[in-house]
Amino acid sequence: MPTSEQNEFFRGSVGVVQTQVVRFDSFTLEGGESITPLEIAYETYGTLNEKKDNAILVCHALSGDAHAAGFHEGDKRPGWWDFYIGPGKAFDTNRYFIISSNVIGGCKGSSGPLTTNAKTGKPYQSTFPFVSIGDMVNAQEKLISSFGIHKLFAVAGGSMGGMQALQWSVAYPDRLKNCIVMASSSEHSAQQIAFNEVGRQAILSDPNWNQGLYTQENRPSKGLALARMMGHITYLSDEMMREKFGRKPPKGNIQSTDFAVGSYLIYQGESFVDRFDANSYIYVTKALDHFSLGTGKELTKVLAKVRCRFLVVAYTSDWLYPPYQSEEIVKSLEVNAVPVSFVELNNPAGHDSFLLPSEQQDSILRDFLGSTDEGVFL
């Protein structure tokens, strides 16, 4: 039974859901190494129709997981994109079959550093092979194919999820009809790599790091918390932080910081340690940094092979993935005469804007998906 806190969300919600895991005998990575077996954690919402042409794959960002909508039993908060997934919402589960999976290399049920290595009987930890964005997408393709789905109605995602959506359009051009890329990029800039490197170095300098072979009792928690604090600064805009925190003092008796924004970041770091793995943080951020479809003429050449419609969304206040990077993608698509709609939203929340409830964003997503059947674009 839903809790009292859940009841207010259940109107328009997919309700209580469970994460499932599918297993494949083996999976070969782009680097040549194999994962045996491959496990993928996923959730689905809605019903796959007889033609199997109404499926939408939703891809998560760095710290996300398969739980995109609805509630797990006993949870007070819904999945990370619940505002947009459900009956009558932008990703309407009365119409579409939504699939959300945890990326490989992560720590939320799919194969990654926490997975037991069949050869040793122990968790891989830092011996897990390098995983690319391409590997994540290739694993998702195996999941999609296991449903008997040949062509996805759409692939959608923000930030790292947007990179996965973009990779889908390039790697499997005939397997998707629509592609939605939000707050993302075709490759990381030096500044974006720098932010991730600082986070990784914080983890590597933790006394408990032990070359990534730490125990659960002695994890590099401080380093991971610092990495999350650093990352979280980049997710918010100056305007949002100024409005939310200003120069206010912290609430309560917090000795380690003089300002409210400091206590907020400490909370974000400490809570992140409880739900994420330090090795996975390193693996996933490295996948982000190594992803590159190029820019300019190189990107235009790569995108010449795509066969789907695009919606690209950027946010004026996003200084982590600034709008010019989205515009690069749009320009390359336009050169190739690929149908593309571009929207830059003046949302003050910064990079996290794509995750937050927004009636305007809901309308944009709804109109783009709904316009497909009529053959019109935004």
DSSP for 338-370, please give it.
--EEEEEE--TTGGGGGGS--HHHHHHHHHHHH
Torsion of the alpha carbons at 279, 282, 288 and 289, rounded to the nearest 10 = -150
**Residue 76 in this model has a pLDDT that exceeds 90:** no
**Which of 287, 320, 346 represents a domain boundary (last residue)?**
287
Residues 152, 215, single domain; the answer is no
Binding site listing for substrate: 228, 352
**Which of 287, 312, 329 represents a domain boundary (last residue)?**
287
**Which of 287, 317, 346 represents a domain boundary (last residue)?**
287
**Residue 377 in this model has a pLDDT that exceeds 60:** no
Place of tokens 């796959």: 48
- Which pLDDT value is given to residue 378? 38
End-to-end CA distance of the chain: 41
For 154-177, what is each residue's pLDDT tens digit? 999 999 999 999 999 999 999 999
Percent above pLDDT 90 for the chain? 91
Is 290 catalytic? The answer is no
Can you give the pTM of this predicted structure?
0.94
Cα–Cα dist 223/199, whole Å: 8
For 123-159, what is each residue's pLDDT tens digit? 999 999 999 999 999 999 999 999 999 999 999 999 9
Of 13, 159, 317, 326, which residue is the catalytic one? Answer: 159
- Domain of 261: which CATH number? 1.10.1740.110
Residues 173, 196, single domain; the answer is no
- Domain of 132: which CATH number? 3.40.50.1820
Residues 356, 227, single domain; the answer is no
Task: Assign 242 to helix, strand or coil.
Answer: helix
Which amino acid is it at 99?
I
Is 159 catalytic? The answer is yes
- Which pLDDT value is given to residue 252? 72
Place of tokens 């449903």: 147
Segments forming the whole domain that contains residue 128? 9-188+292-374
Is 318 catalytic? The answer is yes
Band (7; pLDDT cuts 50, 70, 90):
very low
More confident of the two residues 255 and 168? 168
Long-range (24+ apart) CB contacts under 8 A made by 79-86 are 79/17, 79/43, 80/355, 81/355, 82/9, 82/13, 83/356, 83/357, 83/358, 83/362, 84/361, 84/362, 84/365, 85/14, 85/45, 85/58, 86/12, 86/13, 86/14, 86/45
- Which pLDDT value is given to residue 251? 81
Residues 200, 168, single domain; the answer is no
For 322-347, what is each residue's pLDDT tens digit? 999 999 999 999 999 999 999 999 99
Binding site listing: 228, 352
- Which pLDDT value is given to residue 372? 64
Cα–Cα dist 196/287, whole Å: 11
**Phi/psi zone of residue 270: left (φ > 0), alpha (ψ -120 to 50 degrees), beta?**
alpha
Which amino acid is it at 312?
V
Of 92, 206, 351, 353, which residue is the catalytic one? Answer: 351
CB atoms within 10 A of CB 36: 14
**Residue 193 in this model has a pLDDT that exceeds 90:** yes
**Structural contact between residues 89 and 47, judged by C-beta atoms closer than 8 angstroms:** no
Residues 110, 23, single domain; the answer is yes
